[in-house]
Amino acid sequence: MERLQKVMAHAGVDSRRKCEQLILEGRVSVNGEVIRELGAKVSAKDRIEVDGVPIYKEEPRYILFYKPKQVISAVSDDKNRAVVLDYIEGITERIYPIGRLDYDTTGLLLLTNDGTFANYLMHPKHQIDKVYIAKVKGIPELKTLRRLERGVVIDGKKTSKARAKLISYNQDNETAIVELTIHEGWNHQVKKMFEAVGHPVMKLKRERYGFIDLGKLKAGEWRELTAFEVDKLTKMATSKK
């Protein structure tokens, strides 16, 4: 069950706020009954009409996208920069990113039009692991990696426990490749964590989301998640306490 205005917005009727206004004006009916309150919830079986015209309820879509650098994790941009939807062709549903990756960060990004699924994955209590590969300045010592794992304070809050692994390093250039696994999704979190321990990020890529990786996808390419993958991600999220 989802809120009526949310279903209407996903179906392309209008923005969520405009859909709420349509409901308040008495222009929306569910199974022949006019709805005037915003708390109403509907199921996939309900017949929804706006001004007597049935709405088309979208089929759920689940997309795995390899985000390139210098692409905005959004459906539009007021500065006319490239956005993730510029790369997704042939999808008529109103999909949107689940969370975001920074403008200069590459890697795995999920998109959907299923609000419930998106909320499951984004809520920190569900603790879906996200694996990042970072090229950082300097070569972190073991004690520095343990600091990252215990949690560091950024923006006045301490991050949850993580996993950190030194993949390789270049003694001449004084750089290193580090794998960091977190389950939160704070703004610029990975970059701020490395900054907090004295190793600024030079490049950043998200390699995995839960059990899903990029596979053979190249930057700018995408594929649909399988029903098995969607089901497993949902179960991973809802089984966490």
**Least confident stretch, 12-26, 76-90, 177-191:** 12-26
Q: Does 7 score more than 70 pLDDT?
A: yes
What does the pLDDT average to over 175-185?
95
| Residues pairing with 39 in the sheet | none
For 203-222, the pLDDT digits (tens) are 999 999 999 999 999 999 99
List active site positions: 102
Q: Is 167 in a helix, a strand, or coil?
A: strand
Q: Does 118 score more than 90 pLDDT?
A: no
What does the pLDDT average to over 143-166?
96
Q: Does 67 score more than 70 pLDDT?
A: yes
**Least confident stretch, 53-62, 181-190, 198-207:** 53-62
pLDDT, position 74: 92
pLDDT, position 6: 84
Report the share of the chain in percent with pLDDT over 90.
73
Q: Which of 132, 64, 117 is nearest to 236 (CA)?
A: 117
Question: What distance in Å separates the CA atoms of residue 146 and residue 40, rounded to the nearest whole number?
Answer: 49
Q: pTM for the full model?
A: 0.80
Question: Higher model confidence: residue 87 or residue 78?
Answer: 87
What does the pLDDT average to over 81-94?
92
Q: Does 44 score more than 60 pLDDT?
A: yes
Q: Does 224 score more than 70 pLDDT?
A: yes
Question: What distance in Å separates the CA atoms of residue 82 and residue 182, rounded to the nearest whole number?
Answer: 27
**Cβ(99)–Cβ(185) below 8 Å:** yes
Question: What distance in Å separates the CA atoms of residue 5 and residue 41, rounded to the nearest whole number?
Answer: 9
| Confidence class for position 240, pLDDT limits 50, 70, 90 | low
What does the pLDDT average to over 193-199?
97
HSE-CB at 206 with a 13 A cutoff on CA atoms is 32
